[in-house]
Copies of this chain bind each other. A is one copy, B any other.
Amino acid sequence: MTEDNEAFLEAYLSARKGLIDSALNKYMPAEDAYPPEIFKAVRYSLFAGGKRLRPILCLAAAEAVGGDIETVLPIACALELIHTYSLIHDDLPAIDNDDYRRGMPTSHKVFGEGVAILAGDALLTAAFHLLSRQDLMAGLDPRTLLAVINDIAEAAGYSGMIGGQVVDMQSEGKVPDYETLHYIHSRKTGVMILVAVKSGARLAGATEEEIDALSEYGRNIGLAFQIADDLLNIDGDPILMGKVTGSDKTRGKMTFPALIGVVDSHNKAYQLLDMALAGIACLDSKADPLRLIASYVLERRS
């Protein structure tokens, strides 16, 4: 990435993150709403310094097809609520048993397991509450909105993200094979990134051709993102990451480096980046942020 592009992307990501954080803050009840325990836990995880990649991709996809980002902002934020719930539940002792995330103790370490489970449930439910708020999205066609809700529920559900998490959990310590690994990575992370891009495009009135192009982008970036995560778990900086590295190996997690080694995993990720960029070659300069985000997904250090 050139220095100019880097400076542009940094400013772009920071502005978008600001927009999303401010919208999330507006949509969520105050920390002292009753019962306070749940709202404290919900806000603790939601405002723990996430990169907001999924909502940013959703907005950028809308932008890429000439849409208005304000219109899709609630959808983008709902995706972040779902992402945050999935992190809280994945960190639980019965699942990944992680004590730290983004340099902070995980939800169950601070609030106890019971409240952490319920805070995750609350965020997932709040996502669908936000997705169905016609007062915020009066300009959208209700049938398209219902179709997007259906897509998001499918991506987050047992045939999507949850399916990926189950197989991930049950594959620990097993000899990795490509088919299982691809299932885990494309479901656990990939489908939510894909649906973020697709939803943004669809709600912004994209043509079928544009949706296909953006889906190709989303699918490849989603898988590349997870491979980059695998690699960061090996050679990332624990300070920047806010959590210990090397945990995948200790737990015998099924990862790309475990299957094909570090060098081939790097190559695979860059191959996916090329495919993602080729997918949206037909889109004009309004898709430039998506192009830069694709590189960022691989070059990020946390």
Taking Cβ atoms with an 8 Å cutoff, the residues of A that contact B are 29, 33-35, 37-39, 42, 85, 89, 92-95, 112-118, 120-122, 124-126, 128-129, 131-134, 142-143, 145-147, 149-150, 153-154, 156-159, 162-163, 165-167, 169-170, 183
- Distance in angstroms between the alpha carbons of A120 and B89 in the assembled complex: 11
- Distance in angstroms between the alpha carbons of A95 and B143 in the assembled complex: 38
User: Quick check: B128 and A128 within 8 Å, CB to CB?
Assistant: yes
Q: How far is the CB of A46 from chain B (nearest CB, A)?
A: 12
List of B residues within 8 angstroms of A129 by Cβ: 150, 153-154, 157
- Distance in angstroms between the alpha carbons of A113 and B114 in the assembled complex: 12
User: Quick check: A125 and B124 within 8 Å, CB to CB?
Assistant: yes
List of B residues within 8 angstroms of A89 by Cβ: 117-118, 121
Q: How far is the CB of A44 from chain B (nearest CB, A)?
A: 14
Copy count, this protein chain? 2
List of B residues within 8 angstroms of A167 by Cβ: 35
List of B residues within 8 angstroms of A29 by Cβ: 158-159
Which residue in B114, B128, B146 is a CB contact (below 8 Å) of A145?
Answer: B146
List of B residues within 8 angstroms of A94 by Cβ: 112-114, 116-117
Extra contacts, 6 of them, besides A115-B169, A118-B166, A126-B153 (Cβ < 8 A), are A89-B118, A94-B113, A129-B154, A129-B157, A132-B150, A142-B142
Nearest B-chain residue to A137, judged by Cβ: B146
Q: How far is the CB of A184 from chain B (nearest CB, A)?
A: 10
Q: How far is the CB of A40 from chain B (nearest CB, A)?
A: 11
- Distance in angstroms between the alpha carbons of A117 and B95 in the assembled complex: 9
List of B residues within 8 angstroms of A37 by Cβ: 166, 170
List of B residues within 8 angstroms of A112 by Cβ: 94
List of B residues within 8 angstroms of A158 by Cβ: 29, 33, 38-39, 42, 122, 125-126
Asked, given contacts A37-B170, A126-B157, A142-B142, whether A118 binds B149 with beta carbons under 8 Å apart, the answer is no
Asked, given contacts A94-B114, A142-B143, whether A122 binds B157 with beta carbons under 8 Å apart, the answer is yes
List of B residues within 8 angstroms of A159 by Cβ: 29, 33
User: Quick check: A166 and B115 within 8 Å, CB to CB?
Assistant: yes
Q: How far is the CB of A117 from chain B (nearest CB, A)?
A: 6
Which residue in B118, B145, B165 is a CB contact (below 8 Å) of A165?
Answer: B118
Between A and B, 19 residue pairs with Cβ closer than 8 Å are A29-B159, A33-B159, A34-B183, A35-B163, A35-B166, A37-B166, A38-B162, A89-B121, A94-B112, A94-B113, A124-B124, A124-B125, A125-B156, A125-B162, A126-B153, A128-B149, A129-B154, A132-B153, A142-B145
Nearest B-chain residue to A157, judged by Cβ: B125
Q: How far is the CB of A89 from chain B (nearest CB, A)?
A: 6
List of B residues within 8 angstroms of A124 by Cβ: 121, 124-125
Q: How far is the CB of A112 from chain B (nearest CB, A)?
A: 7
User: Quick check: B114 and A169 within 8 Å, CB to CB?
Assistant: yes
User: Quick check: B113 and A133 within 8 Å, CB to CB?
Assistant: no
